[in-house]
Amino acid sequence: MKLSKRAESLSPSSTLAITAKAAALKAEGHDVIGLGAGEPDFNTPSHIIEAAYEAMKAGHTKYTASGGLLQLKKNICEKLAKDQGLSYDPSEIIVSTGAKHSLYSLFQAVIDEGDEVIIPIPYWVSYPEQVKLAGGVPVYIEGKEENDFKFTADQLKGALTSKTKAIIINSPSNPTGSLYSRDELAEIGKVCLEHNILIVSDEIYEKLVYGGAEHVSIAQISEELKKQTVIVNGLSKSHAMTGWRIGFAAGDKKIIKAMTNLDSHSTSNPTTISQYAAIAAYDGPEDDVEMMRSAFEERLDKVYDKLVSIPGLSCVKPKGAFYLFPNAKDAAEMTGFHSVDDWVAALLEEEKVALVPGSGFGSPDNVRLSYATSLDSILEALGRIERFIARRT
Ligand code: PLP
**Within the chain, how many helices (H) and strands (E) appear?**
15, 12
pLDDT digit string, tens, across residues 15-55: 677 778 888 999 999 999 999 888 999 999 999 999 999 99
Domains of the chain by start residue, with CATH:
5-43+288-392 (3.90.1150.10), 62-283 (3.40.640.10)
Distance separating alpha carbons of residues 30 and 95, to the nearest angstrom = 41
Q: What is the dihedral of CA 56, 57, 58, 63, to 10 degrees?
A: 30
What ipTM was reported for this prediction? Answer: 0.99
Would you say residue 14 has pLDDT above 70?
A: no
Distance separating alpha carbons of residues 21 and 96, to the nearest angstrom = 30
Contact residues for 20 (Cβ-Cβ < 8 A; gap 6+): none
Ligand 1 pocket test target in 203, 204, 325, 356 with most atoms within 8 Å of CB: 204
pLDDT digit string, tens, across residues 255-293: 999 999 999 999 999 999 999 999 999 999 999 999 999
What atom in ligand 1 is closest to the CA of residue 247? 16
Confidence of residue 9 (pLDDT cuts 50, 70, 90): confident
Look at residue 293 in the predicted model and tell me its pLDDT. Answer: 98
Q: How far is CA 135 from the centre of its chain?
A: 22
Cβ atoms 199, 224 nearer than 8 A: no
Q: How far is CA 210 from the centre of its chain?
A: 17
112 backbone dihedrals φ, ψ, rounded to 5°: -105, 165
Look at residue 302 in the predicted model and tell me its pLDDT. Answer: 95
Confidence of residue 164 (pLDDT cuts 50, 70, 90): very high
Confidence of residue 68 (pLDDT cuts 50, 70, 90): very high
Q: pTM for this one? A: 0.97
Would you say residue 73 has pLDDT above 70?
A: yes
pLDDT digit string, tens, across residues 328-351: 999 999 999 999 999 999 999 999
Closest by CA to 254, choosing from 57, 89, 34, is: 89
Mean predicted confidence (pLDDT) in 307-321: 97
What atom in ligand 1 is closest to the CA of residue 39? 8
pLDDT digit string, tens, across residues 180-218: 999 999 999 999 999 999 999 999 999 999 999 999 999
Closest by CA to 109, choosing from 90, 133, 144, 80, is: 133
| Alpha carbon of 99 to ligand 1 centroid (Å) | 6
Would you say residue 105 has pLDDT above 80?
A: yes
| Alpha carbon of 101 to ligand 1 centroid (Å) | 9
Residue 225: helix, strand or coil by DSSP? Answer: helix
Ligand 1 pocket test target in 101, 106, 237, 275 with most atoms within 8 Å of CB: 237
Distance separating alpha carbons of residues 92 and 254, to the nearest angstrom = 8
Look at residue 10 in the predicted model and tell me its pLDDT. Answer: 86
Average pLDDT, the chain: 96
Mean predicted confidence (pLDDT) in 5-13: 83
Binding-site residues, ligand 1, Cβ < 6 A: 38, 98-100, 124, 170, 174, 202, 204, 234, 236, 242, 247
Peptide bond into 172 cis (omega under 30): yes
| Alpha carbon of 204 to ligand 1 centroid (Å) | 6
